[in-house]
Amino acid sequence: MIIDGSYGEGGGQILRTSLSLAAITGKPLQINRIRAGREKPGLAAQHLTAVRAAAAICHAQVKGDALGSMTLEFVPGNFVQAGSYTFDVSEALPGGSAGALALVLQTILLPLALADGDSEVTLRGGTHVSHSPSITYIEQVYLPMLQQMGVQAEVELKAWGWYPRGGGEVKLLIRGGSISGINLVERGDLVGVRGLAVVTELPSHIPQRMAMRAENLLREAQLKANVQPLRAKGVAPGAGLFLTAEYENTLAGFGALGRLGLAAETVASIACEEMLRFHATGAALDEHLADQLLLPAALASEKSEYQVAVVSRHLKTNAWVIEQFELAQVTVDEVEKKVAIAPVIKQTIK
């Protein structure tokens, strides 16, 4: 199997989806021009850790697993093995890294969920960093939605890790089983919005200001909201606001990270504006979840269909990767903003 890493949006999702499917199917994989669409192409610390994690769970032989590498050969050596694993993004880069551990998590989660037996995975690195799902999003939105598809997994945040220090840690528990399809064309009414305004190594008034601003903005939009301020322990200063919108049939998540010079109220406004834009679409899935549910739907035992807020380039690229492995047919209706996934018979899955 040869995958062009520059296809479509040319980012790390091509690598992660390819690694997951290579581990599951046992198909040898070669990826060329990895992350060619990025300012710094090739494998960064979090991508390199994802490669090594995928290799560990299926005893793969790997060539090209080095920082900056744009070509990778990955040959699975065995069935995916459930068990206890530890993967640390900081070990991939001299001096450490705050690379997103959620990206490593998403690479190995589904292979382990389809394996025989239970797994416990310790992940270290960045837990809440830009351009990647936060662990709060994973915990509050992604995993609960996967549970609707039969995937039994839970994550526990042990330590917060922000850019640029990292130092975060999570425990991931996965019970092996099977995956069922999902139908989310209608999201239903909004039940409510819950949120977390959190800081580490910063004064307690900052999360209180973020929480108050978020609740006020959402109340003005006539939405029920409960945002809890939290001053947590961490190895370095960090701040963020994370919102989860609960609808009758689905969940959606939004967030914003603080940085030096950005007022607490502005952080809250960014997250709330993102949430309100999504709410106005009437769609079932937010932009990120629309992409993230493609792979489990492709591995499910029956068809799936869902409506999305945005047909992103990311989503279309991920659909292309899945179809290269001939495990499912993905149909994207850009007018109706609906995605249909029809899995094929899983005779090729190890």
- Torsion on CA atoms 153, 154, 160, 162, rounded to nearest 10: 30
Phi-psi category of residue 185: left, alpha or beta, with phi > 0 → left and psi -120 to 50 → alpha:
alpha
The residues, ordered by sequence, that sit 6+ positions from 214 with a Cβ below 8 Å of its Cβ are 195, 197, 225, 227, 241, 243, 268, 271, 272
Tokens of 276: 């309100």
pLDDT at 346: 56
pLDDT at 233: 84
Digit-by-digit pLDDT tens for the chain (350 residues) are: 999 999 999 999 999 999 999 999 999 999 999 999 898 999 999 999 999 999 999 999 999 999 999 999 999 998 999 999 999 999 998 888 899 999 999 999 999 999 999 999 999 999 999 999 999 999 999 999 999 999 999 999 999 999 989 999 999 999 999 999 999 999 999 999 999 999 999 999 999 999 999 999 999 999 989 999 999 988 899 999 999 999 999 999 999 999 999 999 999 999 999 999 999 999 999 999 999 999 999 999 999 999 999 999 999 999 999 999 999 999 999 999 999 999 996 544 44
pLDDT at 97: 86
pLDDT at 341: 98
288 is in an annotated binding site: yes
289 is in an annotated binding site: yes
290 is in an annotated binding site: yes
106 is in an annotated binding site: yes
292 is in an annotated binding site: yes
291 is in an annotated binding site: yes
Tokens of 12: 């790390």
pLDDT at 348: 41
pTM of the predicted protein model:
0.96
For the annotated catalytic residues, the residue numbers are 314
For 18, phi and psi rounded to 5 degrees? -65, -45
